[in-house]
């Protein structure tokens, strides 16, 4: 026997029919756009506003990089320093790193023997003053890791900021997840963290068009369903 209220039953039925899930606008997955619009109309009609979660970097990530002097496989760029070296009309630019265990310095190649005139003066100045934003964007750019053969270790380097506490009375509701930085995180792990449940329960409680067990670096949308 179903003891739930008619309104609650209706919400559950509509939710299952509407497949309330979809990509964030940034993902631009066209075939699902109709579903997204229907889902948003549904949520709006139920006076349920979307929640916003934001994934934010709290510090620069470590580098998974084997040290040549000790067994450590981890390095850091600290607060971030560049070294710029001029050789005639050519410039080399490195981002400096060091082993977290023995402090041995490493130079990560950013630019190699590039004509000085190919640099924007403002960019060159940013290298010379160790501009924090340029340090971050340089470190997070995939080409730096490919060129210098390291991957980023994001452990304990980010946090999830969620909307006000969730309540059973207002389920289901939609959550738009925004990434401030391209941090690879499994959606089920992120949802589990935000809702306070296990990963397996998170997979059972949400509807989302992304594979929940595959890391993503960009925003997505999901709907948290009733736990019943
Ligand atoms: Zn070392």
Distance 225 CA to ligand 1 centre (A): 48
Q: Is the pLDDT of residue 12 over 90?
A: no
Distance 74 CA to ligand 1 centre (A): 8
- Give the largest CA-CA distance in the chain: 84
82 and 133 share one domain: yes
pTM over 0.85: no
Distance 77 CA to ligand 1 centre (A): 14
Q: Is the pLDDT of residue 17 over 90?
A: no
Residues 6 or more apart whose Cβ sits within 8 Å of residue 81: 95, 96, 130, 135
Distance 83 CA to ligand 1 centre (A): 21
Distance 106 CA to ligand 1 centre (A): 10
Mean pLDDT of 3-18: 35
Which of 133, 153, 173 is at the close of a domain? 153
Q: Is the pLDDT of residue 31 over 70?
A: no
17 and 67 share one domain: no
Is 152 within 8 Å of 64 (Cβ atoms)? yes
Q: What is the pLDDT of residue 188?
A: 95
Q: What is the pLDDT of residue 164?
A: 66
225 band by pLDDT with thresholds 50, 70 and 90: confident
Residue linked to tokens 């001029």: 86
Look at residue 1 and tell me if it is in a domain.
no
Distance 73 CA to ligand 1 centre (A): 8
Look at residue 114 and tell me if it is in a domain.
yes
Q: How many domains does the chain have?
A: 2
Mean pLDDT of 39-59: 69
Between 2-16, 44-58, 180-194, 199-213, the lowest mean confidence (pLDDT) is in 2-16
Nearest to 180 by CA among 150, 209, 154, 206: 154
Q: Round to whole Å and give the CA distance between 181 and 156.
A: 14
Beta strand spans in 46-150 (E): 51-57, 62-64, 74-76, 82-87, 90-99, 105-115
Q: What is the pLDDT of residue 37?
A: 47
Distance 62 CA to ligand 1 centre (A): 14
Q: What is the pLDDT of residue 137?
A: 96
Buried b (16+ CB within 10 A) or exposed e, 35-63: bbebbbebbeebebeebebebebeebbbb
Range of the domain at 76: 62-153
Q: Round to whole Å and give the CA distance between 43 and 171.
A: 11
pLDDT tens digits, 77-116: 999 999 999 999 999 999 999 999 999 999 999 999 999 9
């Amino acid at each position: 026997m179903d003891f739930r209220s008619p309104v609650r039953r209706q919400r559950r039925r509509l939710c299952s029919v509407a497949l309330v899930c979809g990509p964030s606008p940034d993902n631009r997955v066209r075939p699902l756009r109709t579903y997204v619009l229907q889902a948003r109309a549904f949520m709006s009609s139920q006076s349920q506003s979307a929640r916003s979660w934001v994934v934010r970097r709290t510090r620069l990530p470590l580098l998974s990089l084997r040290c040549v002097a000790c067994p450590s496989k981890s390095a850091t760029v600290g607060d971030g320093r560049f070294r710029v070296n001029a050789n005639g009309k050519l410039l080399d630019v490195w981002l400096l790193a060091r082993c977290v265990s023995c402090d041995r310095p490493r130079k990560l190649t950013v630019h190699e023997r590039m004509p000085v005139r190919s640099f924007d003066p403002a960019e060159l100045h940013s290298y010379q003053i160790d501009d924090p934003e340029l340090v971050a964007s340089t470190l997070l750019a995939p080409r730096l890791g490919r060129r210098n053969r390291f991957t980023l270790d994001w452990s304990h380097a980010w946090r999830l900021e969620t909307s006000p506490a969730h309540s059973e009375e207002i389920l289901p509701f939609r959550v738009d997840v925004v990434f401030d930085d391209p941090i690879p995180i499994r959606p089920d792990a992120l949802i589990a963290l935000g809702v306070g449940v296990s990963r397996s329960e998170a997979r059972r409680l949400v509807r989302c068009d992304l594979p929940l067990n595959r890391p993503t670096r960009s925003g997505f949308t999901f709907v948290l369903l009733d736990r019943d």
